[in-house]
Chain A
């Protein structure tokens, strides 16, 4: 099974509540220079036909994680039961090789020196709760769950799974 995120960009207002909820749940303090979820606003088109797209993204929990393949210590693994890519903090040496392997620039290194990234709030999932970002989203633009459920949700709209060699587990709708 593979868990995935589903982001409805036309609902996202770029308020960054998901980012704050993530920082809060992960107990990341100011000055640690960590941000496991980011909202990017992408401008496209030409005046007067201007487009603004807010896109909230974190680790994509890829089907074929490039970070895992290059990790010298085997600290990065992909859980068989839900496809979530996790980092064993007791094994990571902080060499930053995974940062260069990831096509999305996801891995970050805080004060601990080891790699930090989204684990889809595994602790909350195990209690049957949604990830912090999803449950905090003001407009209901963020969803997380098994990829086929997400695909069913997304089928109501023009949506697609993000394409890429690493098979990112993220669906985006317009």
Chain B
């Protein structure tokens, strides 16, 4: 069966990075609003990771289109706001701006430089950060949802045409985002409360992996029982050409490994001081996140023509009259 290749691995990278950036920024903004100055390093890292991942994703998308230089002029090229592609471009733009500003205010060096420009910029930085973090939550959630909606609104791609797809991509976005931040906390955070935060994040990873697994199962079973072409697409994933990528990449690396790594830390099987375990969990989670986008893209077959009039006409044409 012919796989979908018009949007290939680069678009999968874009959808993945958009989700990852949104997920890690949501984690960071929530962490900042809840704990303020307690985890400076993690907040700084998570904010930059969010802004940079989304910006990189946007660059990857630009690299993939036919006319990148034309596309980059947002206000001229993304003008049809009924199109989810255009809405998404503006959402990405807003997210890069807000996440980036928050990241700048979370970096001492840059804040000191801002103070020289205009003092209130620096002296009021916590106020700005609070405002930005509150603004960022819906915008980044929007980015995560959008990566799924972009595909979900296409009626003639039955495997994508479901609200379960945005749900699945958002679950994966949060999962990879928290996973990335958790990996960083284990590796670098030196606050007195690191232990507590780490436990909380690993617990969240386990919960999110469980949610993602449930949504994935729901999505696939809906598709199996859905229209013929959707069922064929789902079959491609579970038993067809791309099933190795699906079972090893998405289920193994994306769900099982992060879950087991988190479990081993929470249960005390893995030593608390061992950094390798959370890092393996984080990296594996990220690879799985990309694979998820890639297999879903590849399996997105077009609905076969089933116009009743066409079928009727074809049935009526005889080679020998």
Contacts and interface: CB of A to CB of B under 8 A. Distances in A.
B238 interface: no
A159 to B, nearest CB: 8
Contacts of A105: 302
Interface stretch (B22-30, B98-106, B278-286, B303-311): B303-311
B86 interface: yes
Contact of A113 (B66, B80, B82, B318): B66
B317 A9 contact: yes
28 contacts: A9-B317, A48-B320, A50-B319, A51-B318, A53-B317, A70-B83, A72-B77, A73-B78, A73-B79, A93-B70, A93-B71, A93-B77, A95-B65, A95-B66, A96-B66, A97-B83, A97-B150, A100-B154, A101-B154, A103-B156, A103-B305, A113-B67, A162-B309, A163-B310, A165-B155, A173-B313, A174-B313, A174-B317
A74 B79 contact: yes
Interface of B: 6-7, 65-68, 70-71, 77-80, 82-86, 89, 150-151, 153-157, 300, 302-303, 305, 307-310, 312-320
Q: How large is the interface on A (under 10, 10 to 19, 20 to 34, 35 or more residues)?
A: 35 or more
Contacts of B308: 163
Interface string A152-174: 00000011111111000000111
B316 A174 contact: yes
A10 B70 CA distance: 46
A70 B307 contact: no
A172 B67 contact: no
Interface in A53-97: 53, 66, 69-74, 91-97
A72 B309 contact: no
Mostly, the B contact residues are loop
Nearest to B88: A72
A96 B77 contact: no
Nearest to B151: A100
Given A160-B312, A162-B309, A102 B156 contact: yes
B319 A51 contact: yes
A142 B123 CA distance: 74
Contacts of B7: 96, 100
Contact of B307 (A96, A163, A173): A163
Given A69-B82, A70-B84, A94-B65, A161 B156 contact: no
Given A51-B319, A93-B71, A9 B313 contact: yes
Contacts of B6: 96, 99-100
Interface string A100-125: 11111100010011100000000000
A69 to B, nearest CB: 7
A103 B151 CA distance: 14
Nearest to A42: B314
A164 B307 contact: yes
Contacts of A27: none
A81 to B, nearest CB: 22
Contacts of B77: 72-73, 91, 93
Contact of B66 (A48, A114, A160, A173): A114
A71 B300 CA distance: 19
Contacts of A101: 154, 156
B228 to A, nearest CB: 15
A109 B307 CA distance: 26
Nearest to B312: A160
Given A71-B80, A103-B156, 5 more contacts: A95-B66, A96-B7, A100-B154, A162-B309, A172-B309
Nearest to A104: B305
A10 B66 contact: no
Nearest to A114: B66
B143 to A, nearest CB: 16
A43 to B, nearest CB: 9
A71 B132 CA distance: 31
